[in-house]
Structure 1
Amino acid sequence: MPLEQAQENNTTGFDVTRFKIIVIGVLAALAGLMSGLDIGVVAGALDFFAKRFHASTIVQEWVVSSMMAGAAVGALLAGWMAHAVGRKVSLIFGAAIFVIGSLGCALCWSIPSMIAFRVFMGLAVGISAFTAPLYLSEIASEESRGAMVSTYQLMVTVGIFLAFLSNTYFSYSGDWRWMFGVAAIPAAIFLVGVLFLPYSPRWLIMKGRHKEAREVLLSLRDDPLVAAQEIKAIRQQLQVKQHGFDLLKTNPNFRRSLALGVLLQIMQQLAGINIIMYYAPNILAHAGFDSTAQMWCTAIIGLVNMLATFIAVGLVDKWGRKPILYIGFAVMAGGMAALAMLLAHGMHTQSSQLLAVFLLLIFCTGFAMSAGPLMWVLCAEIQPMQGRNLGISISTLTNWLTNMVVGASFLSLMETLGASGTFWLFALLNASFIVFTWLFVPETKGMSLETIEKRLLSGVKLRNLGR
């Protein structure tokens, strides 16, 4: 049947298999949409919520960072869940929590209740951030893996943009409860969509369900021979069972890949994107914008962040990972430095205010085309199978812990260093990440996960693992 289907594709000119993979990829990546909605909504709702409950600066930072604390716990749980009950069931569980958490934030009655439901939503975000890229990397072919995993980050940016648009709409009435509540609608759609996803063929083989795995792969590959070879490679790889903690203690090569995964996630978060996503209205207030203009400019930032992610999706499997990272970090460093200088001199004219928005857009473009999606791609690629669940769990945990630190300290940094000094700090960090990319990051374009693992475990330097 798969061969007949492939022949039909050739005669009709419509690639059914490719279309099916795209649909599956988009459905799985809707986890990113929900994460983006949760990240973006707080930027618009925070000021209204703070006024309603008389929240101090520190309390506002707690409200923002509480989601990341929950996400860190979710990332730890996700590794066990993805192995025990599978990638698909983990996504279903995360989707259900998204629905409950969104409604809880909308109906909260106090600051502690808001923080509690934000933590609850964070659980879903952490589970999804671990499981969705893992699932996508296992469904995709070698040629499309980078683009498929990048789709997750693309959907995060779509979610952020939609949240910013929703925030702008409800800002006229100041109804922060609806800002949170509307996220329950796409969460319910996501929950239904995930039910129709196939199981990961790798997980099925891990559980001894070889016939089901073969059926899934035959439906996702044009050539039955390719599917058979992939099944064989997965079986060979899985002969060594998951022993992440034992591998961590005994294998220095695994410790190297684990350390790289941690470094990549620290680099992504310290680049500074989430200070824009969480606090864009506050930053724009320093630039002299009134409340209405703050919300519309924030929505524009979300739109550019979303559109720029298409650059990564389109180029990651053509240009490779490292060239795009070089460009992205250089653009982010330049944008932050220019904004720091502008803030230092003050913005007293409309042209200087518009320039500030333009520089924020430049920064977001640099991030969305590079570190945003590519760190997830690389973290899914560099971990050996024996310790893959542990490796991705720890790197995802690192992402959310660093995210929490940034979210919980930015307003205080602005008060201590001033707006200009804070942005100079992030400019210097991005410049240093160019050096870190050159020193440690491998180019994995077009390489199978099995080849990357063999080179890692044979002691090849991290930067030389790929091409």
Structure 2
Amino acid sequence: MSTISHPTHTNRQTILVCFLAALAGLLFGLDMGVIAGALPFIANEFNLSSHHQEVVVSIMMLGAALGALCSGPMSSSLGRKKSLLLGAVLFIIGSIGCAVAHSMEVLAVSRFILGLAVGVASFTAPLYLSEIAPERIRGSMISLYQLMITIGILAAFLSDTALSEGGHWRWMLGVITFPAIVLFIGVLTLPESPRWLAMKDKHELAGKVLKLLRNSDKEAQDELNQIRESVKMKQRGLQLFRHNAHFRRSTYLGVLLQFMQQFTGMTVIMYYAPKIFEIAGFATTREQMWGTVIAGLTNVLATFIAIALVDRWGRKPILKLGFSGMAVCMGILGYMFHSGISNPTEQYAAVIVLLIFITGFAMSAGPLIWVLCSEIQPLAGRDFGVTCSTMANWIANMIIGATFLTLIDTIGSSGTFWLYGVLNVVCIVLTLLFVPETKNISLEHIERNLMCGNPLRHIGQPPQGKTGKAITTE
């Protein structure tokens, strides 16, 4: 069942708006990737232990979790656009602070501010994209956000490599200021989300935005009618969570999805890539940095696979394929590290397996978890649900960032990678049991299926009845 036709082409203005919003992902990626190259120099300058290095890495995730927690109420009251603007300002402040830091404490505070910015961006940008993009390309447009993250990571790795010869870690961290300014200017030109406008009873303005972004007035009016039906129920996330078991299910699923994404092991590759290449036998800084660049480039290119296939194959088949590939690669890497890497052939074999792992993540869990988390929450509790899932992402991210070096020191490289292999197998099972297929289904239909009490893995199916159960808080 569908109430909106599917034109064969997409409004160019929609593509432009989605691209500008996805620039928040570029800043996200820059902040994730830049610490990998800067960390060895920071550790040397401030004489940091492994624990202190983990603090420098993970303090950003703590800020991101707090930023995500605050983003729900802020996005609901101020709007998606103003929230993105605030995120851009925080990016600028945090980047400058990192560049001028004269102690670990100042650096940690600046990284925390950057974390706040990343938390705001990681909540608001996918939510905005899910509400701006028409359903036929919604998966691709939210995947575009993940693509920008991977481009940001690659750009950070390239910048780090160029600056590593002189050990200029302050420039590595400070260069993020410039794209942050570009993001701020770009967001100024964006329209507000039509769904948010309708939630605030600004239906006429919502209609104008949809006419700008859709191919015809009829398409815009049809979508506005759907939105009007959805927004009759105002945002009451916490109350809905307390009293509505169906909303609790979607909230828990969003949290689970984000933990699944982080516990694949991809995060440690992004944060500690030079360290991993050192474990693989590449001894010089130059070798480690260029290995990191190759990893970042693979991450970017493989994300195009997700963009090309997410709205053709669907979310669930790609996730199952990705988790399976990552489980196998982690198992192989663990075996290689256990057996010992003693010659160039084994070194390059380890790199190939690592790149296959990155490909598996970038085409599946990387972008598609964000797609699903923005799709499965009902409108009346969407801000609360996405807040919970985004905060979960950063809590899991912080756990991974704060434990990797400790795991290496305690259970060894092989044990650590085997552990991540097992976690990927667990993710396959969880995908089969709980993850829905949402391809080509409107957000309103997904919501109706959820509130009808359908099993979570079936909420992406076309509704069987004419109407679903009303969303209530009683």
Q: 1:348 aligns with which of 342, 355, 373?
A: 342
**Partner amino acid, structure 1, of 2:414:** S
Indicate the residue corresponding to 1:129 in structure 2.
Answer: 122
Q: What is the root-mean-square deviation of aligned Cα atoms in Å?
A: 1.1
**Partner amino acid, structure 2, of 1:103:** I
Indicate the residue corresponding to 1:217 in structure 2.
Answer: 210
Q: CA offsets, 1:99-136, max 9 Å, x none?
A: 11111101101001000000000000000000000000
Q: CA offsets, 1:266-296, max 9 Å, x none?
A: 0000011110000011111111112110000
**Partner amino acid, structure 1, of 2:70:** L
**Structure 1 position 50 matched with structure 2 position 43:** yes
**Structure 1 position 103 matched with structure 2 position 96:** yes
**Structure 1 position 461 matched with structure 2 position 465:** no
**Partner amino acid, structure 2, of 1:420:** S
**Structure 1 position 180 matched with structure 2 position 202:** no
Question: Moved runs in structure 1, 4+ residues, more than 6 A?
Answer: none
Q: 1:364 Cα deviation (Å)? A: 0.6
**Partner amino acid, structure 1, of 2:326:** M
Q: 1:137 Cα deviation (Å)? A: 0.5
**Separation in structure 2 between the aligned mates of residue 83 and residue 251 of structure 1, nearest angstrom:** 20
**Structure 1 position 329 matched with structure 2 position 300:** no
**Separation in structure 1 between the aligned mates of residue 135 and residue 83 of structure 2, nearest angstrom:** 24
Indicate the residue corresponding to 2:380 in structure 1.
Answer: 386
**Partner amino acid, structure 1, of 2:136:** E
Q: 1:20 aligns with which of 13, 25, 30?
A: 13
**Structure 1 position 440 matched with structure 2 position 434:** yes
**Structure 1 position 320 matched with structure 2 position 336:** no
**Separation in structure 2 between the aligned mates of residue 53 and residue 376 of structure 1, nearest angstrom:** 36
Q: 2:419 aligns with which of 400, 418, 425?
A: 425
**Partner amino acid, structure 1, of 2:229:** Q
**Partner amino acid, structure 1, of 2:157:** F
1:71-90 alignment to 2 at 5 Å?
Answer: 71-90=64-83
Indicate the residue corresponding to 2:59 in structure 1.
Answer: 66
Indicate the residue corresponding to 2:225 in structure 1.
Answer: 232
Bigger drift between 243-252 and 435-444 goes to: 243-252
Q: CA offsets, 1:188-232, max 9 Å, x none?
A: 111111100111111111112222111110011112111111111
Indicate the residue corresponding to 1:4 in structure 2.
Answer: none
**Separation in structure 1 between the aligned mates of residue 173 and residue 114 of structure 2, nearest angstrom:** 11
1:397-412 alignment to 2 at 5 Å?
Answer: 397-412=391-406
Query: Match of 1:144, SS?
Result: helix
Q: 1:40 Cα deviation (Å)? A: 0.2
**Separation in structure 1 between the aligned mates of residue 192 and residue 209 of structure 2, nearest angstrom:** 8
**Separation in structure 1 between the aligned mates of residue 360 and residue 406 of structure 2, nearest angstrom:** 25
**Partner amino acid, structure 1, of 2:394:** W
**Partner amino acid, structure 2, of 1:195:** L
**Separation in structure 2 between the aligned mates of residue 238 and residue 192 of structure 1, nearest angstrom:** 30
Query: Match of 1:331, SS?
Result: helix
**Separation in structure 1 between the aligned mates of residue 43 and residue 351 of structure 2, nearest angstrom:** 25
**Separation in structure 2 between the aligned mates of residue 176 and residue 112 of structure 1, nearest angstrom:** 16
**Structure 1 position 364 matched with structure 2 position 342:** no
Indicate the residue corresponding to 2:190 in structure 1.
Answer: 197
**Separation in structure 1 between the aligned mates of residue 137 and residue 251 of structure 2, nearest angstrom:** 24
Indicate the residue corresponding to 1:142 in structure 2.
Answer: 135
Q: 2:28 aligns with which of 31, 35, 43?
A: 35
**Structure 1 position 154 matched with structure 2 position 147:** yes
Q: CA offsets, 1:396-439, max 9 Å, x none?
A: 00000000000000000000110000000000110111111000
**Separation in structure 2 between the aligned mates of residue 192 and residue 96 of structure 1, nearest angstrom:** 11
Query: Match of 1:459, SS?
Result: coil
Q: 1:141 Cα deviation (Å)? A: 0.4
Indicate the residue corresponding to 2:164 in structure 1.
Answer: 171
**Separation in structure 1 between the aligned mates of residue 118 and residue 36 of structure 2, nearest angstrom:** 17
**Separation in structure 2 between the aligned mates of residue 362 and residue 431 of structure 1, nearest angstrom:** 16
**Partner amino acid, structure 2, of 1:121:** L
Q: 1:18 Cα deviation (Å)? A: 2.4
Q: 1:91 aligns with which of 84, 91, 94?
A: 84
Query: Match of 2:102, SS?
Result: coil
Query: Match of 2:272, SS?
Result: helix
**Partner amino acid, structure 2, of 1:409:** T
Indicate the residue corresponding to 1:288 in structure 2.
Answer: 281
**Partner amino acid, structure 1, of 2:403:** S
TM-score, with normalisation over the residues of structure 2?
Answer: 0.95
Identity within the alignment, %: 54
Q: 1:55 Cα deviation (Å)? A: 0.5
**Separation in structure 1 between the aligned mates of residue 201 and residue 236 of structure 2, nearest angstrom:** 18
**Separation in structure 2 between the aligned mates of residue 337 and residue 65 of structure 1, nearest angstrom:** 26
Query: Match of 2:311, SS?
Result: coil
TM-score, with normalisation over the residues of structure 1?
Answer: 0.96
**Separation in structure 1 between the aligned mates of residue 20 and residue 119 of structure 2, nearest angstrom:** 18
Q: 1:360 Cα deviation (Å)? A: 1.1
1:255-270 alignment to 2 at 5 Å?
Answer: 255-270=248-263
Q: 1:388 Cα deviation (Å)? A: 0.7
Q: CA offsets, 1:310-365, max 9 Å, x none?
A: 11111100000000001100111111111111111111100111111111111110
Query: Match of 2:215, SS?
Result: coil
Indicate the residue corresponding to 1:5 in structure 2.
Answer: none
Query: Match of 1:143, SS?
Result: helix
Q: 1:81 Cα deviation (Å)? A: 1.2
Number of equivalences:
454
**Separation in structure 1 between the aligned mates of residue 288 and residue 434 of structure 2, nearest angstrom:** 39
**Separation in structure 2 between the aligned mates of residue 310 and residue 277 of structure 1, nearest angstrom:** 18
Bigger drift between 244-253 and 120-129 goes to: 244-253
